[in-house]
Amino acid sequence: MNVFKYLCVSAFLLLASCYNGLDYVVHGSATEVETEVIILTTEPDPDIWIESFTQVASYEKIDILWVIDGSCSMQQHKTRLLSGIEHMMNNLPTDINWRLKMITAGEYKWITQPTTFPLTRGDTITDAMNMYNDLPNDGGEAGFAATKNYILDDAYASTWLRSDAAMLVVFVSDEEEQSDITVSEFTLWYENYRKTAYISFIGNVDPSVTLCPVVSSADVGKKYIDAANYFSGTVVDICEADWSSGVDDATQKIEPIEEWELAHVPYEHTIVVFEDGSKMDPAEWVYDPAINIIEFVNTPPEGALIEIGYAIKFYKLNP
C-alpha cells in the first residue's frame, strides 16, 4: 500500500495511532463508527482504526498530461517512467475515452513541443516511447509554468484538450518546482480551468521516508506534493522500484471506487461501514480476508463519504 494513501483515525486514538513516523488526521464523524466497532469488539483494549474515502464521479472522458522533468539526473528513472506510463495506459477503464500527452517541464519549452496527437485507447508502449523520445531537450524544472503555458498558449493543445472531460496532470521530477507560480495560484487556476481536476506527483519525497539513497531537503517536491494533496491526489516516491501501485492510485481517482483495500488486518466480526454518517447494511458489502479488501455490492454514489471502522488484529508495517 502506498505510504501516502490518505487514511484517518478517530480523535481519541490519534496520538496512539501515529506510529512508524506517519501522521493521521481526523476526518468526518468518526465517533459513531468508533462506537459501533466497540460494541462488536470482544478483544481487551483493542486498537480501533477508521479509514475513509469520498466517492468520485464516473467520467466518460479524461485528458491526461504527463509533465516530465527532462534534466540529466532524470535519465536514471527513464525505465520506470516508461513502465509507469505503460501501466496507466493498460489499466485505464476500457469504457473511458482517454487521451494522454507528454510535455517537458521547461517553462517555455511548450513552444517546441511536437504536435503529435495524444496517445489514445489502442496505442502501445512503443507509441509512448516514441512520444517520449520526441520531447525536446529540456533541463527545465518549472512544472506549474510549463502546464499553464502549454494549456493556454500552445495552439495545438486546444485541438485535443476537451472542456467536458476530467483532467489529470502527472508531474514527474526529482527536483522542487522552480517557477514563480505559488501553489495557491496554480491550484486556483487549475480548478477554474477544469471543473473536474486531479494532480499526481512522482518525485522526491521527504528524506525520512524516501527509498532514494540520498535526497536533499531542497530537492523534495514540496510544491508538487502540496498541489497533489490539495486535489486529494497521489504522491509516489520516484525511487520506488515499481510505480504501478502509485499509478493505480492515480487512475482510481478518476473512476468510481468499487472495492477498498484495508490499511491493516481487522478482526472480521468488528468491521462496520458507514455511508454519509449512516451505518450500511452488512448485506451491502463483503469482506474478502484473502486479499484484505472490502467489496461493495452496489457502487457507492458520487460524493458519498464512506467510513470503514474495525479493531486491528495485525498492523501492516507500511500502510
> Could you give the CA distance from residue 228 to residue 258 in angstroms, rounded to a whole number?
23
- Give the helix, strand, coil percentages of the chain, each rounded to 5: 35, 25, 45
Q: Is there a contact between 142 and 105 (Cβ–Cβ < 8 Å)? A: yes
Tell me the CATH number for domain 61-252. Answer: 3.40.50.410
Q: Is there a contact between 253 and 222 (Cβ–Cβ < 8 Å)? A: no
In the chain, how long is the greatest CA-to-CA distance? 65
> Could you give the CA distance from residue 150 to residue 190 in angstroms, rounded to a whole number?
13
- SS3 at position 268: helix
What percent of the chain has a predicted confidence (pLDDT) above 90?
A: 37
pLDDT band at 42 (very low <50, low <70, confident <90, very high): confident
Between 19 and 156, name the one with better pLDDT. Answer: 156
Which backbone phi and psi does 225 adopt, to 5 degrees? Answer: -60, -45
Q: Is there a contact between 24 and 9 (Cβ–Cβ < 8 Å)? A: yes
Between 307 and 79, name the one with better pLDDT. Answer: 307
Could you report the per-residue pLDDT of 118-144, keeping only the tens digit for each? 988 888 888 888 888 888 888 888 999
Q: What is the pLDDT of residue 22?
A: 28
Answer yes or no: is pLDDT of 31 > 80: no
Q: Is there a contact between 258 and 309 (Cβ–Cβ < 8 Å)? A: no
pLDDT band at 288 (very low <50, low <70, confident <90, very high): very high
Distances (CA, A) of 101 to 47, 89, 93, 127, 170: 45, 11, 17, 11, 10
Answer yes or no: is pLDDT of 249 > 70: no
The candidate with the shortest Cα–Cα distance to 273, out of 17, 26, 53, 20, is 53
List the strands of the sheet with 97-104, edge to edge: 119-120, 97-104, 61-68, 166-173, 197-203, 235-237
Q: What is the pLDDT of residue 10?
A: 33
What percent of the chain has a predicted confidence (pLDDT) above 70?
A: 83
Q: Is there a contact between 106 and 70 (Cβ–Cβ < 8 Å)? A: yes
Answer yes or no: is pLDDT of 223 > 80: yes
Q: What is the mean pLDDT of the chain?
A: 82
Q: What is the pLDDT of residue 20?
A: 30
> Could you give the CA distance from residue 201 to residue 187 in angstroms, rounded to a whole number?
14
> Could you give the CA distance from residue 318 to residue 275 in angstroms, rounded to a whole number?
27
Q: What is the mean pLDDT of residues 173-183?
A: 94
Answer yes or no: is pLDDT of 80 > 90: no
Q: Is there a contact between 180 and 214 (Cβ–Cβ < 8 Å)? A: no
Between 103 and 195, name the one with better pLDDT. Answer: 103
Q: Where are the domains of the chain?
A: 11-54+256-314, 61-252
Q: What is the pLDDT of residue 52?
A: 87
Side-chain half-sphere CA neighbours of 261 within 13 A: 13
Answer yes or no: is pLDDT of 251 > 60: yes
Answer yes or no: is pLDDT of 14 > 60: no
The Cα angle at residue 249 between residues 306 and 27, in degrees rounded to 5: 35
Query: Counting every residue, how long is the chain?
Result: 319
Between 109 and 200, name the one with better pLDDT. Answer: 200
pLDDT band at 19 (very low <50, low <70, confident <90, very high): very low
With a CB cutoff of 8 Å and minimum separation 6, the contacts of 168 are 62, 63, 64, 65, 198, 199, 200, 250, 253, 254
Answer yes or no: is pLDDT of 241 > 50: yes
**For the chain, give me the number of helices (H) and strands (E)?**
9, 14
Which backbone phi and psi does 277 adopt, to 5 degrees? Answer: 85, -5
Task: Output the pTM of the full model.
Answer: 0.65
Answer yes or no: is pLDDT of 254 > 70: no
Q: What is the pLDDT of residue 250?
A: 67
